Amino acid sequence: MPEAVLGRGTTVIDQEDGDLGDYLESLRRLHGLGHRRVLPGHGPDLEDMAAVTDTYLAHRQERLDQIRGALRDLGEDATTRAVVEHVYTDVDESLWDVAEWSVQAQLNYLRR
């Protein structure tokens, strides 16, 4: 399982060592800890667990909505790469290979 909370950026979920459903459940459980200081494995300390997990959950929901939209636009059988190119226009293309890992995990989650 990838690290749930980072000091900066977001966690990349890949299908080899992570599951988006499990990750989302972990974030919800961490949120239940309330307004505690976060000492992430990478990056600076964060002041408020509830606020951090709210941000992470909102980001994941936004990406899932974007993936759903891409599947509507491209078709349900769209390749992972096609979905990345459609959704990750705000991300430098040099990171698209890594984005494919995350998109595949999201597709697996949505297709269950």
| pLDDT score recorded for residue 3 | 62
CB 57 within 8 A of CB 49: no
CB 13 within 8 A of CB 21: no
| pLDDT score recorded for residue 8 | 67
| pLDDT score recorded for residue 11 | 76
List domains and CATH numbers for the chain: 20-111 (1.10.10)
- Listed in sequence order, the DSSP H helices in the chain are 20-31, 49-74, 80-87, 96-111
Output the pTM of the full model.
0.84
Per-residue pLDDT tens listing for the chain (112 residues)? 446 776 666 777 876 777 899 999 999 999 999 999 988 877 888 889 999 999 999 999 999 999 999 999 999 999 999 999 999 998 999 999 989 998 999 999 998 8
| pLDDT score recorded for residue 96 | 93
Please calculate the CA angle 103-105-107 and round it to the nearest 5 degrees.
70
Tokens of 75: 């078709």
| pLDDT score recorded for residue 45 | 85
